[in-house]
Structures are given as structure tokens and as C-alpha cells.
Chain A
Amino acid sequence: MVSKVLVANRGEIACRILRACNEAGLSSVAIYAANDATSMFLELADQAVLLEGETIGETYLDQQQILAIAKATGADAIHPGFGFLSERADFARAVGEAGLQWVGPSPEAIEQMGDKMTARITMRAAGVPVIPGEEIEQEEESEALAAIESASHRVGYPLLLKASSGGGGKGMRAVHSPEDLIESAKGARREAIAAFGDGRVYIERLLTGSKHVEIQVLADRHGRTVHLGERECSVQRRHQKVFEEAPCATMTAELREAMGQAAVAAAEAVSYEGAGTVEFLLAPTGEFFFLEMNTRIQVEHPVTELVTGVDLVREQLRIAAGEPMSCGPLMIRGHAIEVRLYAEDAENNFLPAIGPLAVFRPPEGPGVRLDTGVREGDSVTPNYDPMLAKLIVWAPSRTEALQRMRRALDEFVVLGTTTNIRFLRELCDEPEVVTGHTDTTTIDRLWPDGWSPSVPRSIEDAALMSAAVGESAGLHRTRSAVTGTSSGPVSPFATLHRRFP
């Protein structure tokens, strides 16, 4: 039984979950740090409780404090969202021991998938293809380096060293020739020890030109484990997904079924419960290999929702309450694309930006969905992740979905804080994106020396004119129509000059 859900997260995903709770008729509790006191997600909860403390560790990551709030407010379930505590097996275990329902898989499943070497071994045993490579069990440095050296001959070059406790590109090194192996291995171990307190690394063959394709799975306590088709998320910048779509443009029905079955086998191998994602690399040969399983709801879940008609967060809540999932046989209809709007300066090496959201006017109209945790008047601060919103479109075909995304991005107005909107808009015109032949190196190949926008002269002139009229008419003081006081002939000297130093 679940009747009151504490959402242990903030921002956009907290809004998504709290809305699902409202729709399901469940009471909800939001928790927030002092610097989130005016954030939108608080308004979507029945009650909101302040977390004591300054840092993220003292607030959104403070397990004891969150459990105490759950107890004090009478919550009977905790939804962790993504990030923060969502993949912390110790927290999932503590939630269960406190007599609360964890909205997610068991702590054992989180542990088995969280340690990447264990996950590889479990997947191989379940018959799921893994990237050719070897686990290195040795922990002591000289023994580990010797084992890595010996394994490198069997795996072949180029190869990838990855931290077993890794994620987000930390403790990861691509090695293109044997001379660099030992230095890279030392570096990967050093980084892994610093970030995760665990220096174990494993070796994988580096599969270039591959697509990142992931399968959404759902599993309930009534013996059903299903897949909901794939999402393609190849367009990434430094392992950060930027542009996600469903279905994958080059997918076939046979391959979808094979990958779906592999994903279901992966989930069943760890007695999975709830929503999860099994990530694969899809090589140009059509072979696919298990990368990792994310034991939580994912940022890009809306594209699957739009093409399958399944409300994944509602299903999570239903499954956590012990009910059977409600979705029927898999049906994929049309095409969905999501882009991630970041407060960042795409022209300046994507440096994070902060500032006020003086104007924040999202697009509207058919087939457009916006998942965000901000609204006009908020400020973007350096305290949290700079993702402002996810813009998702649905259309009957991939071509129309791209056209709709271009239209929606052109309508999206954010002023006062630099965003990547224009970068995303121009990405939609790139031939690789248009044909669907993207891979994980697309952004690096398209813009090796950084990105800059192409701006038509006429638009730039209109912008300069706007600023000059704004200044002249005092629009920043009134923000309303100017009253005409003087009139006369149009000056022949109304001009525009540029000086280039």
C-alpha cells in the first residue's frame, strides 16, 4: 500500500513525480534545501519540509535526515528520482528497514548493477552479450598493472579502461597504442580511487562508430518483466546526452526484439522491479553489447512515454504499491525527440552560465511537451545541475518530429541567461541528425574546434534595431507601449555602423 510519497529530489524530476502523485490521488511530500525555498517543485507537493544544512551532502544526500522527515510527515514511500540517492543501495536498504516502500528495485539489484564488473559477469551468465574484454580482479597496483598488460594482448587495440565503480566518464581512459597502456591504467586507477575509493578497472575493446541504444524495461511483483522498445541517445558531449529519440532511426523489428529480449533477460537476472534501463552499444555490424543498467527512472524517459503511451512514473508508483503494471502489449506509434536545454554557453566551450530567467517563454502547440522545474522570474545559480528543461516533441514520423522540434526551438525564448537553444536548433539541421546516422562521436566530429552560430545578417540587424529602440523608447523602464509625443519626418540618417578593432 502506498498513500503518501516523499520525493527525495528537486527541480524538473521532482515536478514530474509530484504531478504523477497528484494525478494518482496520492499525497506528497517535497523536501528542499534553503536555496530551493522558492523553487517550483515545492508548489506541486501537498507539503514541503526544509532540509537543514548547507551543502548537497548535508541536504539532498543526507539519508538520516530524509528518513526522519518521512517518519515525521507519515510518508509511506520514497521516490528517489534520478541522480542524488537514486542508485544508492544503502539508502534503498535503509528505506526498507524503516518500514517504507522504496520506489525502485531491491538494494541487491542496485548493487549487482552498480558494480560494473559484477554486472558484466552477471550479464554474461544470463546470456546477454557484453563488450569483448576482461575483468581485472587484482586490487594491488603492480599486480593489477601486470594483469592489465597481459589482458591487453587478448582484447586488442584500441581499448577502453573503465573503473568498476565508475560512471560519468570518471576513471575511464581510451588507449590507442600499447606504449600508453601503463600510464593510462595508472591514471584511470588514480581517478577511480579518488572518486569512488575503489581502484579496480576492467578492459573493453573500444568500439568506434557505435550507436548508444538503450532499452526501457518495466517489471512488477506479479511475474511480468517487459521491454518498451528503445531510445537512441548517441548524440552526446563528453558522455552527456544532448539529443534523444525513440525509436532509433536505423532499428529493425528483428533487432528490437533481440535487444528487448536481452534487456528482459538482464532485468530478470537480478530479479528487477520497477522501471529500469539497459544500455547497449550498437555496432555498425548490427551486433549489440551490454554497457550498463540504470536502476532508476531516466532523464530521457519522456520519449518512450510519447511513442508507447505508457506513463512510466505512474507505472513506477503502481508497481511500488504492489499492483500489476497496467500496460498491454508493446505498440510503438510515431516518433519522439527530446533535447536538453542547459544554461551554458555553447560558443564558449559550453561553460555553465548563471543569471536571471528574465524572460522564459516555452513553445506551445501540437505535439510539444515541456518538462522543467523553472519558470520566468527564477534565477539560475551555480548550486545545481545547469539543466533548465527538457523539450520533447512527438509527430507521426521522424521527419515531422524534426520539423516540429525546429519550430518549437525557434519559439523558445529565454532571456537573461545564456542557453544552448540555438546549438540544439542547428543540431537539428545537421545531415547526420537528419538521416539518423548519428553515433557517439557525432558532436566531436562536427565541431572539433567548438561551435558558433550562423546568424543571417537581416536577423542581426533586427536585433540591433530592437536594442536601440528599446533604449530609445525606454522599454526597460516601462515594458509597455510608448506614448507618442513627437513626430516628424523620418530621418535619412537612421543607420547602423560597425567598427572592428
Chain B
Amino acid sequence: MHHQFRSPDGPIEVTVARQGESWYLGSLEATPMSDGRLRILNDDGTVMFAHLVKVGDVWWVHVQGHTFKLERVEPGASDTDDGGGLTAPMPGKVLQVLVDVGQSVSAGTTLMVLEAMKMEHRIVAANDGTVTAVHFGAGDQVEQGVALLALEES
């Protein structure tokens, strides 16, 4: 089966094939275990165990001391939509929303102020444009990576 994931290095497409209880990718053979883990056999006979859990669209995977966050991209979804970079850099609280939908802003304008762990973070317009959406209001809690506003470049 074919899947696409978003990783820090860009999109990655993975195709795994199934035979019986096991799945194959290149020289790796993975077998689901009764506790939800995967037993992964290398062709040299060594074995690894992967813990995995899906939270929202993200697969969290732990293999041999390394932890990965792999966001699954739904088939057909655009992978360029990152909200124009106007995403929460960290989890926190919206302190102030400084713009309204429809407002024209110039590059460098502060659009929103977030607070997390006693630090303030300003969300700033990277380009001139028009605000097309404001997803949160003052006092809202936001998770890391969520789109806060949308800006259409002019």
C-alpha cells in the first residue's frame, strides 16, 4: 500500500507490500505484535521493535532510541499549504489579535501575539497582503503548528 508522509526534509512516499501476516519494504520485514508494536526483521537477521501510535494525523514512532513524528498526507491533499507560515511556533495562549479579516497589511506587521512559558511571540506578516482568515481569538489555547491566520499575498 502507498502512503505519503510529511517529514522535516520534505514529503516522503512509502509503499509497503503485504504477504500473510507480514509487511515488506526493501530488505525489511515487519510483523504486527499483539500489543500494537511492530517486530522488524533486517535481512541480516537482526531485529528491531517499533512502538507506534497515531495522534491526530501524526504517526509517532519510536525505533531504537529515536522518535519520529510523521504526518500522514491524505491522498490528493496539497502539500504546499502551510498557512503562509502563520502557524503557532509553540503551544501557548493567544494574547492579542491585532488584525481583522479583510484588513490589508504590509510585510512586517504584527498580526497576533502569543504567550507560552512567560515568553511573548509575535506573529508577523512575511509579505504584503490581505488577511483572509483569523482562526483564534484572545485567550484561546493553541497547539504547536496550527494555522493561526491566513494571508493572501498582494
* In the complex, chain B residues whose CB is within 8 Å of the CB of A476: 53-54, 59
Contact across chains for B89 and A351 when beta carbons are under 8 A apart: yes
Q: Which residues of B contact A494 (CB under 8 A)?
A: 15-17, 24-26
Restricting to B118-154, which residues have a CB under 8 Å from any CB of A?
141, 143-144
User: Quick check: A461 and B28 within 8 Å, CB to CB?
Assistant: yes
Find chain B residues with CB under 8 A from A425 CB: 65
Given A491-B17, A495-B26, A499-B13, A382 and B67 touching (CB < 8 A)? no
* Interface presence of B70 (CB below 8 A): yes
Binary contact track A473-501/B, C-beta < 8 Å → 1, others 0: 10110011110101111110111111111
Q: Let me know if A146 is at the binding interface, CB within 8 A.
A: no
Q: Is the pair B32, A473 in contact by a Cβ cutoff of 8 Å?
A: yes
Contact, CB under 8 Å: B3 / A471: yes
Q: B10 and A498: CB pair below 8 A?
A: yes
Q: In the assembly, what is the distance between CA of A482 and CA of B11, in Å?
A: 27
Q: How far is the CB of B14 from chain A (nearest CB, A)?
A: 4
Quick one: CB contact mask for B27-54 with A, threshold 8 Å, 1 for yes?
Answer: 0101011111010101000001011111
* Interface: B21 (CB within 8 A): yes
Q: Which residues of A contact B89 (CB under 8 A)?
A: 348, 351
Q: Give the docked Cα–Cα distance between A470 and B40 (Å).
A: 13
Q: Do residues B19 and A481 form an inter-chain contact, with CB atoms below 8 A?
A: no
Q: From A495, which residue of chain B is reached at the shortest CB distance?
A: B15
Is A258 interfacial (CB 8 A cutoff)?
no
Q: Which of B51-66 contact A (CB under 8 A)?
A: 51-55, 59-66
Closest chain-B Cβ to A89's Cβ sits at a distance in Å of 24
Inter-chain CA distance A416–B16, complex, in Å, is 24
**A467 in contact (CB, < 8 A):** yes
**Contact: B63 with A463, CB < 8 Å?**
yes
| Contact across chains for A465 and B5 when beta carbons are under 8 A apart | no
Taken residue by residue from 90 to 117, chain B's Cβ proximity to chain A (1 for < 8 Å, 0 otherwise) reads as 1111000000000000000000000011
B18 and A468 contacting across the interface, CB-CB below 8 Å? no
Q: Considering the chains assembled together, what is the distance between the CA atoms of A469 and B144 in angstroms? A: 26
Pairwise interchain contact A475-B36, C-beta atoms closer than 8 A: yes
Question: How long is the Cα–Cα vector from A494 to B26 in the complex, in angstroms?
Answer: 6
Q: Which among B15, B38, B116 is the interface contact of A382 at CB below 8 angstroms?
A: B116
Q: Does A355 contact B (CB under 8 A)?
A: yes
> Which listed residue, B10, B35, B50, touches A463 by the CB 8 Å rule?
B50
Known contacts A351-B116, A416-B53, A490-B17; A467 and B5 CB within 8 A of each other: yes
A466 at the interface (CB under 8 A from B): yes
Shortest Cβ gap from B69 to chain A (Å) = 7
Q: Is the CB of B55 within 8 A of A495?
A: no
Q: Which residues of B contact A465 (CB under 8 A)?
A: 14, 16, 23, 25, 28, 30, 40
B117, A499: Cβ atoms closer than 8 Å: no
The answer to whether B50 touches A481 (Cβ under 8 A) is no
Number of residue pairs A-B, CB distance < 8 angstroms = 216
Chain A 451-466 interface 0/1 with B at a Cβ cutoff of 8 Å (1 = within): 0010100111111111
A251 sits at the interface (CB 8 A): no
Q: Are A422 and B66 also in contact (CB < 8 A) when A382-B117, A487-B19 are?
A: yes
Are the CB atoms of A480 and B36 closer together than 8 Å? Answer: yes
Closest to A485 in B: B18
Q: Judge if A67 is at the interface, Cβ distance under 8 Å.
A: no
Q: A466-B30, A500-B9 are in contact. Are A471 and B72 (CB under 8 A)?
A: yes
The residue that A496 contacts in the complex, of B10, B15, B54, B61, with Cβ under 8 A, is: B15
Does B76 reach chain A (CB closer than 8 Å)? no
**What CA separation (Å) do A493 and B24 show in the bound complex?**
10
Q: How far is the CB of B32 from chain A (nearest CB, A)?
A: 5
Say which residue of B14, B19, B21, B80 sits within 8 Å of A467 (CB atoms): B14
Asked whether A433 is an interface residue with its Cβ less than 8 Å from the other chain, the reply is no
Interchain CB contact under 8 A, A461 and B26:
yes
Q: Which residues of B sit under 8 angstroms from A499, Cβ to Cβ?
A: 10-13
Chain B residues near A361: list those with CB within 8 A: 51
Q: Are B144 and A463 neighbours in the complex by a CB distance under 8 Å?
A: no
User: Is B1 positioned at the interface, with any CB of A under 8 Å from its CB?
Assistant: yes
Given the complex of chains A and B, what is the CA–CA distance between A370 and B107 in angstroms? 49
Q: What residues of chain A lie closer than 8 Å to B28, measured between beta carbons?
A: 461-462, 465
How far, in Å, is B92 (CB) from chain A's closest CB?
A: 6
**Which one, B9, B13, B63, B117, contacts A466 given CB within 8 A?**
B63
Which chain A residues border B1 with CB–CB below 8 Å?
468, 471-472
In the complex, the 9 A-B pairs of residues with the closest C-beta atoms, listed nearest first: A410-B65, A491-B17, A476-B54, A415-B60, A467-B59, A494-B17, A466-B50, A354-B91, A479-B36
- Residues of B participating in the A interface, judged by any CB pair closer than 8 Å: 1, 3, 5, 7, 9-21, 23-26, 28, 30, 32-36, 38, 40, 42, 48, 50-55, 59-70, 72, 80, 89-93, 116-117, 141, 143-144
What are 22 A-to-B residue pairs whose CB atoms are below 8 Å?
A351-B116, A382-B91, A382-B116, A409-B65, A413-B51, A415-B60, A416-B53, A459-B63, A464-B7, A464-B68, A468-B15, A471-B54, A472-B16, A473-B23, A475-B52, A481-B32, A481-B33, A487-B20, A498-B9, A498-B11, A498-B12, A499-B10
